[in-house]
């Protein structure tokens, strides 16, 4: 189905040699994973984020917090990458063939970009697949298997917490350094399926623009970032990205 894209849009994608794509919960929505801030179906329609996504919440009620993350862990374990994940993975491969770069910076903790085949990925807010002991720091892969207790316990007796970044916690210094370098060097920046209200990610589009990159937003609705973007494409990320990548890099037969 044709979307909002013009031939100029396609040329802009085809000619970009260094792309930075920032993704948010909207990119996984088409895989059946709820976003955070949707008024009806969002994860926070029923919960106050401060009660769940802060270190204070974990200290206050570790059982409630780990049960909430565990239910999301089970949901994400069953989810499959959608057209948006697949299109971004294909775009990365097309650029790689030409000696160019696509860096995917995701705020999502579901690893669906990896499942789709993306390799150059920074997980800005961590991952739900690694749980860390709050006492000794030991990390363990936790995919779909059931936990024995809430919170799960480390051999040292400490409580395990999801390896995600909560409000008020620092992001990886290494990741921020890599992203800042990429924002200076990229020629195209995309903000996809994110409400653009959580920092530092919400500042990346303006930084890229200040460094002369073209900035594009893809979202089902306008956000606070829309007025800073060169183009704001309203629609589903899966449809728009599929068309963009298929038209920019048509598959050759034979
Ligand atoms: C579709 C679609 C479809 C749907 N197609 N689109 C500067 C100014 C003000 C405050 C701060 C600041 N710097 C730091 C702060 C404090 C704080 C912050 O940003 N607060 C703001 C809320 C005001 N930031 C932090 O604390 C960060 N830490 C930090 O900066 O450390 C240093 C520091 C500390 C303290 C003070 C100052 C500096 C850490 C932020 C960590 C965020 N963590 C969470 C939880 C992760 C674990 C979990 O998953 O539970 O990350 S919060 C939550 O929001 C989650 C998400 O990754 C993040 C962003 O959400 P996202 O992805 O945008 O989802 P939604 O639901 O909001 O939006 C979905 C969008 O998709 C919508 O727009 C839909 O329309 C769209 N959509 N379907 C296209 N099919
Ligand atoms: Zn431990």
Phi and psi dihedrals of 223, rounded to 5?
-130, 175
Q: Tens digit of pLDDT for each residue in 229-246?
A: 999 999 999 999 999 999
Q: Tens digit of pLDDT for each residue in 13-57?
A: 999 999 999 999 999 999 999 998 877 776 667 777 667 899 999
Secondary structure, 3-state, 47-96: CCHHHCCCHHHHHHCHHHHHHHHHHHHHHHHHCCCCHHHHHHHHHHHHHH
Do 106 and 21 contact (CB within 8 A), yes or no? no
- State whether the beta carbon of 29 lies less than 6 angstroms from ligand 1: yes
User: Whose alpha carbon is nearest atom 56 of ligand 1?
Assistant: 107
- State whether the beta carbon of 175 lies less than 6 angstroms from ligand 1: no
- State whether the beta carbon of 237 lies less than 6 angstroms from ligand 1: yes
Atom of ligand 1 at shortest range from CA of 195: 73
- State whether the beta carbon of 236 lies less than 6 angstroms from ligand 1: yes
Atom of ligand 1 at shortest range from CA of 223: 73
Ligand in closest contact with the CA of 44: 1
Ligand in closest contact with the CA of 235: 1
Q: Tens digit of pLDDT for each residue in 81-114?
A: 999 999 999 999 999 999 999 999 999 999 999 9
For the chain, percent of residues with pLDDT exceeding 90: 89
Do 148 and 128 contact (CB within 8 A), yes or no? no
User: 114 catalytic, yes or no?
Assistant: no
């Amino acid at each position: 189905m044709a979307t909002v894209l013009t031939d100029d849009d396609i040329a802009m994608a085809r000619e970009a040699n260094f792309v930075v794509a920032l993704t948010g919960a909207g990119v996984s929505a088409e895989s059946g994973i709820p976003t955070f801030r949707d008024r009806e179906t969002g994860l926070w329609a029923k919960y106050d984020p401060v009660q769940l996504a802060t270190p204070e919440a974990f200290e206050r009620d570790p059982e409630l917090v780990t049960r909430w993350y565990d239910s999301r862990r089970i949901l994400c374990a069953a989810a499959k990458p959608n057209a948006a994940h697949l299109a971004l993975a294909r775009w990365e491969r097309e650029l790689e063939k030409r000696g160019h770069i696509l860096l995917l910076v995701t705020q999502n903790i579901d690893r669906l970009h990896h499942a789709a085949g993306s390799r150059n990925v920074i997980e800005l807010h961590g991952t739900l697949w690694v749980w860390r002991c709050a006492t000794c720091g030991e990390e363990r892969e936790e995919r779909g298997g059931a936990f024995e207790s809430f919170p799960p316990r480390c051999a040292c007796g400490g409580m395990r917490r999801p390896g995600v970044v909560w409000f008020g916690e620092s992001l990886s210094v290494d990741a921020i350094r890599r992203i800042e370098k990429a924002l200076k060097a990229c020629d195209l920046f995309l903000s996809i399926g994110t409400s653009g209200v959580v920092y530092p990610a919400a500042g990346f589009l303006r930084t890229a623009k200040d460094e002369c990159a073209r900035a594009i937003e893809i979202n089902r609705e306008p956000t606070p970032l829309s007025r800073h973007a060169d183009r704001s494409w309203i629609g589903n990320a899966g449809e728009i990205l599929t068309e963009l990548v298929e038209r920019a890099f048509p598959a050759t037969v034979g």
